[in-house]
């Protein structure tokens, strides 16, 4: 294996495996992690069919399946939770509309989550749209990711994810930029 590839794999692995401490802290912002974890339980229980489209640098692949590891599939949404202890004073909260909360990284702060926007359904007050912008930079690596999730009421009366999208790029300083996207539609 090439040394550069090994470094890339190690960096990605370390970023994804950061230990998370569970505390009973008060949530300063929308509880994205709690919401996604409740969705994971429903998705694992229901095992819905997903139409999944993936692309990496222009190469595309599509598949339809109900064999999805939901914890892995939606892990970036959990990682984007801004209620972590280190983030407590890092974000400004605004309400662009009466049913939308926008959390934006304050100037001078250095966190991967640049913004989190949550739009709530009028009737249920549940999230109908979640959008997250992530950005990480250091001397060896930079990446940007856009996450988007839509939710709605299922015919059986359960609020559930309808679509999820993850797109962006990863770039090691010594390699070309790699763009990617994943779009899942849940039936």
What pLDDT tens digit does each residue of the chain (187 aa) get? 443 333 333 333 334 444 444 445 678 899 999 999 999 999 999 999 999 999 999 899 999 999 999 999 999 999 999 999 989 899 999 999 999 999 999 999 999 999 999 999 999 999 999 999 999 998 888 999 999 999 999 998 999 999 999 999 999 888 889 999 999 999 9
Cβ-based neighbours of 125, under 8 Å, separated by 6 or more: none
Spatial contact of 187 and 50, defined as CB atoms under 8 Å apart: yes
Cβ-based neighbours of 123, under 8 Å, separated by 6 or more: none
Phi, psi of 7 (to 5 degrees): -65, -45
């Amino acid at each position: 294996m090439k040394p550069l590839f090994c470094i890339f794999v190690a960096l990605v692995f370390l970023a994804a495996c950061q230990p998370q401490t569970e505390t009973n802290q008060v949530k300063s912002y929308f509880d994205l992690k709690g919401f996604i974890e409740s969705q994971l339980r429903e998705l694992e229980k229901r095992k819905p069919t997903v139409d999944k489209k993936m692309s990496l640098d222009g190469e595309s692949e599509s598949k339809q399946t109900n064999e999805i590891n939901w914890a892995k599939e939606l892990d970036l949404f959990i990682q984007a939770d801004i209620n972590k202890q280190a983030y407590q004073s890092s974000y400004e909260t605004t309400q662009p509309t009466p049913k939308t909360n926008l959390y934006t990284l304050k100037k001078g702060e250095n966190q991967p989550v640049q913004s989190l926007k949550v739009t709530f359904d009028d009737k249920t007050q549940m999230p109908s749209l979640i959008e997250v912008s992530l950005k990480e930079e250091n001397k060896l690596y930079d990446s940007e990711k856009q996450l988007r999730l839509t939710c709605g009421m299922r015919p059986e009366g359960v609020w559930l994810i309808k679509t999820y999208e993850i797109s962006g790029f990863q770039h090691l300083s010594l390699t070309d930029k790699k763009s990617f996207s994943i779009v899942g539609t849940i039936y």
